[in-house]
């Protein structure tokens, strides 16, 4: 009897805590976190873009769940106790949130997706007393949070006209919107609520290199942050479960579904390319590593220059790039001299063989001695094969070519470089014409001249 009496207060406290968790779920919600080099759901919300944040996540990475937490906190505003506790629990700066209750648009691709995914995700973190309108119906729905915040559920399929007229604090798109006009309209709705208003996009990029990639991922700006979170890093999933499911997909769709990588899903020339394997963070290059330059001339098309360093393990590192259209040869020459001042004197410079006049002027007028890349029947195919051989991992799982993450134009080119469908499967396969390949050509010239025999040997 005495034991039961002693336990009664503890049981009461436990029941009170359980009820508090039920009434205030956001206050106890944790974003998962893994230390670098693994990915983190939490870091994506700790390091938001000043205007736009893109969370590119694999399947089951938690991108929707994390975005739902953030949306509820944004609607509450930083003064709400639940939002304050959520920020403290997850190491998030509370000034990221508006200083008052906010208006959030939660935007699905279509109304059924909103009913099936977004509304339940939001509902999981709403405090007791929240009031819904049309929670289970099709079309527009809304939930009001005690204290004044509100979340309105819309769909891209409703069209641009459905997004006009209101001032909004946060627009959250779950999955990639195909209609750029809808996104542009949402950006206009954020103008009156600056500087705290934000656009948040959480997605698995299964549509390949779309307008969104070209606009905000390939050309990053100070206002935009792009985060990648990997499904296999999610500690809440059974170990190995996602990997087993992903085996049914091809390598490029698997890269998108597992790691949120932006890829051209069909017909890619460089099948072995994978960001997690080939893209590395920039780091200092030892002075004794030889440097090589490759160059592809352009006039209206961009002139492209790549800088590569060869490590003592015979692995090639693409450490810098130059990419500029509609400029004079003198401008390009100045840029090349700046690259040399930064990385060191190259062993050689190899150039596009088609423009002999530009090569001679580069040497005679600008002091940049160079040689012509090999050309002739089959030279493109040989060059592609040479790059492909370096991309292939060795027995230790390491490729013979890695690229600094700062070389964004090259990464864009290699990920969108596809075969011409008319040539696929024929004896003379050719890449599709009129696609960006200027930096790829520069690397092709360089890799062929450098050579590869058995290991990665200097030619």
Q: Please report, for the domain that includes residue 378, its CATH number.
A: 3.30.420.280
Helices (H), 190-328: 211-212, 241-246, 251-259, 275-278
Evaluated on CA atoms 132, 179, 70, 192, the torsion sign reads: negative
The pLDDT-based confidence of 428 (bands split at 50, 70, 90) is very low
Q: Is residue 4 part of a domain?
A: no
How many domains are contained in the chain? 2
Residue 168 has pLDDT above 80, yes or no: yes
pLDDT of residue 265: 53
Two tokens at 315? 């692995």
Query: Do 34 and 124 reside in the same domain of the chain?
Result: yes
Q: Is residue 442 part of a domain?
A: yes
Q: Which residue segment(s) compose the domain that 365 sits in?
A: 280-450
Q: Is residue 244 part of a domain?
A: yes
pLDDT of residue 423: 43
Over the stretch 129-141, which tens digit does the pLDDT of each residue have? Answer: 999 999 988 888 9
| More reliable by pLDDT, 336 or 455 | 336
**What distance in Å separates the CA atoms of residue 375 and residue 380, rounded to the nearest whole number?**
8
Query: Do 284 and 406 reside in the same domain of the chain?
Result: yes
Query: Do 106 and 201 reside in the same domain of the chain?
Result: yes
Q: What is the DSSP letter of 132?
A: E
Instruction: Provide CB contacts within 8 A for 171, sequence distance 6+.
Output: 104, 105, 107, 186, 187, 189, 190, 198, 199, 200
Q: Is residue 253 part of a domain?
A: no
CB 219 within 8 A of CB 52: no
Residue 427 has pLDDT above 70, yes or no: no
Query: Do 430 and 327 reside in the same domain of the chain?
Result: yes
Query: Do 43 and 116 reside in the same domain of the chain?
Result: yes
Q: What is the mean pLDDT of the chain?
A: 86
Residue environment code for 18-52, b if the CB has 16+ CB neighbours within 10 A, otherwise e = eeeeeebbbbebebbbbeeeebbbbbbbbebbebb
Q: Is residue 459 part of a domain?
A: no
Query: Do 43 and 138 reside in the same domain of the chain?
Result: yes
The pLDDT-based confidence of 7 (bands split at 50, 70, 90) is low
Give the Cβ contact number of residue 155 at 10 Å.
23
List the CATH number of the domain containing 97. Answer: 3.40.50.300
Residue 3 has pLDDT above 80, yes or no: no
Instruction: Provide CB contacts within 8 A for 108, sequence distance 6+.
Output: 114, 117, 118, 153, 154, 155, 156, 174, 175
Q: Is residue 259 part of a domain?
A: no
**SS3 assignment, position 224:** strand
- Residue 339, judged by CB atoms within 10 A of its CB (0-12, 13-18, 19+), counts as buried
Q: Is residue 58 part of a domain?
A: yes
Query: Do 233 and 290 reside in the same domain of the chain?
Result: no
Q: Which of 225, 248, 271 is the last residue of a domain?
A: 248
Query: Do 98 and 231 reside in the same domain of the chain?
Result: yes
The model's pTM: 0.61
Over the stretch 283-340, which tens digit does the pLDDT of each residue have? Answer: 999 999 999 999 999 867 789 999 999 999 889 999 999 999 888 999 999 999 999 9
Counting residues of the chain whose pLDDT is more than 70, the rounded percentage is 88
**What distance in Å separates the CA atoms of residue 393 and residue 402, rounded to the nearest whole number?**
11
**What distance in Å separates the CA atoms of residue 175 and residue 195, rounded to the nearest whole number?**
25
Q: Which residues pair with 52 in a beta bridge?
A: 199, 224
Query: Do 58 and 147 reside in the same domain of the chain?
Result: yes
Query: Do 222 and 346 reside in the same domain of the chain?
Result: no
Query: Do 154 and 302 reside in the same domain of the chain?
Result: no
Helical pair 438-450 and 379-391, crossing angle rounded to 10 deg: 80
Q: Is residue 167 part of a domain?
A: yes
Query: Do 313 and 408 reside in the same domain of the chain?
Result: yes
């Amino acid at each position: 009897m005495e034991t039961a009496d002693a336990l009664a207060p503890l049981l009461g406290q436990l029941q009170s805590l359980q009820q508090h968790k039920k009434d205030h779920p956001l206050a106890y919600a944790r974003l998962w976190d893994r230390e670098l080099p693994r990915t983190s759901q939490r870091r994506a919300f700790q390091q938001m873009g000043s205007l736009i944040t893109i969370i590119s996540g694999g399947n089951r990475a938690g991108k929707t769940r994390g975005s739902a937490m953030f949306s509820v906190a944004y609607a509450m505003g930083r003064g709400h106790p639940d939002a304050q506790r959520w920020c403290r629990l997850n190491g998030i700066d509370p000034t990221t949130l508006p200083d008052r209750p906010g208006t959030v648009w939660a935007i699905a691709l279509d109304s059924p997706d909103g009913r099936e995914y977004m509304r339940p995700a939001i509902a999981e973190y709403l405090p007791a007393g929240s009031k819904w309108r049309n929670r289970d119906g099709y079309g527009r729905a809304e939930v009001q949070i005690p204290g004044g915040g509100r979340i309105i559920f819309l769909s891209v399929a409703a069209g641009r006209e459905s997004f006009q007229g209101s001032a909004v604090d946060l627009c959250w798109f779950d999955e990639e919107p195909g209609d750029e006009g809808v996104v542009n309209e949402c950006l206009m709705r954020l103008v009156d609520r600056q500087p705290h208003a934000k656009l948040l996009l959480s997605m698995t990029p299964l549509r390949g290199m779309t307008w969104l990639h070209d606009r905000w991922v390939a050309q990053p700006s100070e206002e935009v942050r792009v985060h990648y979170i990997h499904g296999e890093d999610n500690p809440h999933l059974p170990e190995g479960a996602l990997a087993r499911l992903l085996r049914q997909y091809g390598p490029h769709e698997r890269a998108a579904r597992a790691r949120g990588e932006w890829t051209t899903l069909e017909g890619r020339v460089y099948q072995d390319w994978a960001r997690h394997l080939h893209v590395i963070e920039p780091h200092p290059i030892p002075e004794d590593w030889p440097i090589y330059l490759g160059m592809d001339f352009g006039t209206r098309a961009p002139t492209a220059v790549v800088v590569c360093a060869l490590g003592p393990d015979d692995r090639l590192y693409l450490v810098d790039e130059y990419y500029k259209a509609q400029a004079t040869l003198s401008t390009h020459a100045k840029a090349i001299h700046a690259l040399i001042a930064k990385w060191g004197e190259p062993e050689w410079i190899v150039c596009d063989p088609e423009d002999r006049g530009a090569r001679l002027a580069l040497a005679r007028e600008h002091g940049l001695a160079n040689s012509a890349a090999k050309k002739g029947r089959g030279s493109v195919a040989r060059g592609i094969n040479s790059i492909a051989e370096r991309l292939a991992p060795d027995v230790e799982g390491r490729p013979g070519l890695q690229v600094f993450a700062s070389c964004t134009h090259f990464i864009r080119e290699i990920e969108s470089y596809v075969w011409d469908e008319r040539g696929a499967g024929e004896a003379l396969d050719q890449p599709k014409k009129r696609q960006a390949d200027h930096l790829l050509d520069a690397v092709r010239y360089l890799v062929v001249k450098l050579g590869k025999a058995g290991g990665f040997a200097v030619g």
